[in-house]
C-alpha cells in the first residue's frame, strides 16, 4: 500500500511541476511581450526575446520550488519523524514499545521511517525475551 501512495504522490508532484513549468513560461511570455511593447523597439532580436523569456520562466520556477518546499510539502504533516523515533528508541521493553506506538498519531504510524524503527525495535525486544 505504501508503494501505491508513493507512486500517486510522485505522479502528483510531477503533474504539479509540469503545470508550474507551463504557467511560468506563459507568464514569462506575457511579461516579455509587455516589456517589448513598452520599449517600442521592433528591431529586438529573437535571441534577446528568448533570453528574457527564459530568465522570467526560471525565476517563476524557482519561486514555485521555494513555495512548494515551504508550504505544499508540509501540508498535513504536523509531526517530526525524529521526535517520534526518539520516543520509540527511549523504550526498554516490548510492552513499552507497544504503548509508545499506540500513542503515535495515525500519520506517524504510516510513516515509513518511523515504522521501520518500530519493527527493528520489536524484533530486538522479542529476541531479548527469548534469551
Tens digit of pLDDT for each residue in 34-58?
Answer: 999 888 887 889 999 999 999 999 9
Stated pTM of the model:
0.53
- The residue segments making up the domain with residue 30 are 2-74
Q: Are 56 and 28 in contact (CB under 8 A)?
A: yes
Tens digit of pLDDT for each residue in 15-33?
Answer: 988 999 999 999 999 999 9
Q: Mark whether 88 and 54 lie in a shared domain.
A: no
Q: Mark whether 22 and 40 lie in a shared domain.
A: yes
Give percent of the chain with pLDDT exceeding 70.
Answer: 94
Mean pLDDT of 111-124: 95
d(CA 10, CA 19): 14
Q: Mark whether 23 and 50 lie in a shared domain.
A: yes
Burial 94-126 (b: 16+ CB within 10 A, else e): eeebeebbeebeeebeebeebbebbeebeeebe
Closest C-alpha to 75, from 105, 106, 107: 107
What's the pLDDT at 10? 83
Amino acid at each position: 500500500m505504501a508503494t501505491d501512495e508513493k507512486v500517486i504522490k510522485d505522479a502528483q508532484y510531477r503533474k504539479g511541476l509540469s503545470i508550474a513549468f507551463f504557467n511560468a513560461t506563459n507568464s514569462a511570455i506575457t511579461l516579455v511581450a509587455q516589456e517589448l511593447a513598452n520599449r517600442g523597439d521592433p528591431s529586438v532580436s529573437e535571441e534577446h526575446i528568448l533570453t528574457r523569456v527564459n530568465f522570467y520562466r526560471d525565476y517563476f520556477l524557482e519561486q514555485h520550488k521555494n513555495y512548494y518546499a515551504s508550504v505544499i510539502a508540509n501540508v498535513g504533516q504536523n509531526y517530526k519523524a525524529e521526535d517520534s523515533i526518539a520516543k520509540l528508541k527511549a523504550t526498554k521493553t516490548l510492552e513499552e514499545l507497544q504503548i509508545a506506538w499506540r500513542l503515535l498519531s495515525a500519520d506517524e504510524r504510516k510513516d515509513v521511517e518511523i515504522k521501520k524503527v518500530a519493527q527493528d525495535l520489536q524484533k530486538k525486544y522479542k529476541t531479548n525475551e527469548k534469551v
